[in-house]
């Protein structure tokens, strides 16, 4: 009954005019950036961080969450109609969705994607509501050593599941942690790694790093690629599924929802890994597996359900433990900290309106996205006709204004430009920046818990293996790292992430 009363309270918060409006704005922006290839949710949320400062924390997070799961809906539109994924999690949707469109079943593919996404999102929201408070109670029993080991495990798994070399990913995590430690030491008051620059005394600006490395760097990379967008000439056709298609799609949606709900919680998991995993599962177990490669509806239903379920459940470690499971959640942590809120197990008691309001808004957002995506499909197709040469200058101007407005300091604009160049170079060197962002967010928290643990143990490092929870986390991290260094497993991981 507590969950029902809390959800009722959450709906009371989420259904306020301001929160409904911002949930709609988030859903619309998310769908738009999902439709437009090359502009993902990480880049968009990092660019929109400055807008959130003037809004209440609950309203701001509701909008940013809407952008994230809205992008999962929108990405399937271009994947099906253009064979061009708008979002990385929609890459596998192109494999069967585009072939369905070429076979005259574009409408059925789009309907399968939207309805499967809605069902998965709704189920995952219930999962978040049910498991969130339970995990919060468990997290309250954690000591500083347990938190340190849990965050270290999160960093290890985010490095292990990153694309490409594990060694490069670990190096990016280490660099992120180092950048997070720049500024004034909280305990001693001494400045460290500031090189005499007064603007760095409060640390490197999270907004500058996120906007530069993910937003502007992505724009530079997109400008290198020639535009090649041609919308499918055949009509979308009927959105209704045949009885046979319903029978084949339903089990795939159920399997995708279950898989995505679990993988979304894992650090480094998220929507992309879930959609790839679901596609591989459907190829092995679905009744229509012999049709894969020629437009199997299971190849749309499963991955689309999985990526939306994962987008919702990735909020669980953020809301209950204060630990981001992927780059988007790291941006959410940054947005909360900027608002003066420390994410973690005490959030349920300290900010119940934010916790339950966000969960309720997820279901409201899913209803909005179902309406936005099916009847308005023609509008999203027309959006693809906007040339990038008009889109990007406007985004760059917006970035410069946003970076300056945070602290009214031109140093932040220069920092954003510097991180944009660094982000571009990282991409050229095949260094994935997502582990860096997670390291940047978790680094200062890890240092704080490490110091507390060492103070409580009077300098004895054995506390990390003497506490069962901490020892278990460290053991899992060591096994995950050792396993990924094995050649066969590493090749399997790279094949899965490459689709």
In 3-state terms, what secondary structure has residue 192? strand
What's the whole-number mean pLDDT along residues 83-89? 68
Q: How many CB atoms lie within 10 A of CB 193?
A: 13
- Which residues are paired to 183 by β-bridges? 192
- Residue 64 exposure: Cα atoms within 13 Å on the Cβ side: 30
* Exposure string for 64-88, b = 16+ CB within 10 A, e = fewer: bbbbbbbbbbbbbbbbbbbbbbbbb
129-133, 138-142, 144-148: which is most confident = 144-148
Given this model, what pLDDT does residue 412 score?
Answer: 87
- Which residues are paired to 191 by β-bridges? 184
pLDDT band at 490 (very low <50, low <70, confident <90, very high): low
pLDDT digits over 273-321, tens only? 788 888 888 888 887 777 777 778 888 888 889 888 888 888 888 888 8
Q: Percentage of the chain with pLDDT > 70?
A: 89
Q: Which helix (H) or strand (E) holds 487?
A: helix 487-497
Given this model, what pLDDT does residue 38 score?
Answer: 61
- What is the rounded distance in angstroms from the CA atom of residue 351 to the CA atom of residue 134? 16
Q: In this structure, what token pair is assigned to residue 116?
A: 């499967």
Sequence-separated (6 or more) residues with CB below 8 Å from residue 252: 116, 278, 282, 286, 297, 298, 301, 302, 305
Phi–psi pair at 191, nearest 5 degrees: -85, 145
pLDDT band at 486 (very low <50, low <70, confident <90, very high): low
Q: In this structure, what token pair is assigned to residue 340?
A: 């003066």
- What is the rounded distance in angstroms from the CA atom of residue 410 to the CA atom of residue 396? 15
Given this model, what pLDDT does residue 16 score?
Answer: 92
pLDDT band at 384 (very low <50, low <70, confident <90, very high): low
Q: In this structure, what token pair is assigned to residue 224?
A: 């290198």
Quick one: 269 exposed, middle or buried, by C-beta within 10 A (0-12, 13-18, 19+)? Answer: buried
Q: In this structure, what token pair is assigned to residue 363?
A: 């279901």
Q: How many CB atoms lie within 10 A of CB 126?
A: 16
pLDDT band at 329 (very low <50, low <70, confident <90, very high): confident
- Which residues are paired to 192 by β-bridges? 183
Q: In this structure, what token pair is assigned to residue 365?
A: 């957002």
What's the whole-number mean pLDDT along residues 436-458? 88
Q: How many CB atoms lie within 10 A of CB 405?
A: 16
- What is the rounded distance in angstroms from the CA atom of residue 87 to the CA atom of residue 89? 5
Is the pTM for the entire model greater than 0.85?
no
How many residues are there in the chain? 499
What's the whole-number mean pLDDT along residues 90-114? 82
Q: In this structure, what token pair is assigned to residue 372?
A: 């936005």
Q: What is the CA radius of gyration of the chain?
A: 22
Q: In this structure, what token pair is assigned to residue 489?
A: 């497993």
- What is the rounded distance in angstroms from the CA atom of residue 92 to the CA atom of residue 85? 8
Flag whether pLDDT at 425 surpasses 90. Answer: yes
Flag whether pLDDT at 417 surpasses 70. Answer: yes
Flag whether pLDDT at 419 surpasses 80. Answer: yes
- What is the rounded distance in angstroms from the CA atom of residue 48 to the CA atom of residue 25? 12
Beta strands per DSSP E along 133-240: 183-184, 191-192
- Residue 246 exposure: Cα atoms within 13 Å on the Cβ side: 5
């Amino acid at each position: 009954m507590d969950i029902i009363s809390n959800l009722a309270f959450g709906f009371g918060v989420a259904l306020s005019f301001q929160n409904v409006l911002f949930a709609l704005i988030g859903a619309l922006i998310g769908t738009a950036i999902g439709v437009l290839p090359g502009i993902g949710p990480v880049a968009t949320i990092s660019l929109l961080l400055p807008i959130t400062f003037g809004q209440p924390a609950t309203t701001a997070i509701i909008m940013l969450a809407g952008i994230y799961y809205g992008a999962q809906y929108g990405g399937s539109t271009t994947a099906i109609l253009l064979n061009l994924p708008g979002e990385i999690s929609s890459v596998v949707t192109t494999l069967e969705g585009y072939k369905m469109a070429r076979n005259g079943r574009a409408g059925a593919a789009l309907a399968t994607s939207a309805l499967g996404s809605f069902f998965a999102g709704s189920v995952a929201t219930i999962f978040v509501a049910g498991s969130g408070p339970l995990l919060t109670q468990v997290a309250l029993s954690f000591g500083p050593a347990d938190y340190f080991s849990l965050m270290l495990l999160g960093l290890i798994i985010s490095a292990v599941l990153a694309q490409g070399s594990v060694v490069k990913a670990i190096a990016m995590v280490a660099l992120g942690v180092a950048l997070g430690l720049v500024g004034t030491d909280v305990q001693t008051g001494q400045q460290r790694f500031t090189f005499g620059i007064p603007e760095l005394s409060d640390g490197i600006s999270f907004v500058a790093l996120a906007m530069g490395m993910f937003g502007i760097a992505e724009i530079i990379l997109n400008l290198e690629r020639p535009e090649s967008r041609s919308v499918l000439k055949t009509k979308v056709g009927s959105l209704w599924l045949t009885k046979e298609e319903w029978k084949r799609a339903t089990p795939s949606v159920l399997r995708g929802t279950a898989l995505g709900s679990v993988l979304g919680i894992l650090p480094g998991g998220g929507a992309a890994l879930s959609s790839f995993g679901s596609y591989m599962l459907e190829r092995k177990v679905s009744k229509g597996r012999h049709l894969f490669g020629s437009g199997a509806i299971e190849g749309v239903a499963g991955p689309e359900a999985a990526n939306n379920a994962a987008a919702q459940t990735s909020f669980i470690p953020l809301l209950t433990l204060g630990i981001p499971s992927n780059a988007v959640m790291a941006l959410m942590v940054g947005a909360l900290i900027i608002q003066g809120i420390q994410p973690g197990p005490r959030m349920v008691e300290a900010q119940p309106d934010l916790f339950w309001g966000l969960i309720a808004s997820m279901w409201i957002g899913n209803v909005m996205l179902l309406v936005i995506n099916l009847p308005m499909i023609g509008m999203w197709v027309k959006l693809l006709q906007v040339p990038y040469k008009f889109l990007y200058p406007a985004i760059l101007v917006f970035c410069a204004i946003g970076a300056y407005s945070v602290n009214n300091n031109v140093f932040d604009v220069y920092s954003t430009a510097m991180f944009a160049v660094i982000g571009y170079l990282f991409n050229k060197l095949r260094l994935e920046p997502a582990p860096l962002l997670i390291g940047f967010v978790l680094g200062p928290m890890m240092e704080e818990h490490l110091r507390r643990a060492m103070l409580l143990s009077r300098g004895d490092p054995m506390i990390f293996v003497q506490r069962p929870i901490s020892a278990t986390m460290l053991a899992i991290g060591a096994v995950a790292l050792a396993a990924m260094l094995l050649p066969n497993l590493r090749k399997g991981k790279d094949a899965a992430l490459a689709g």
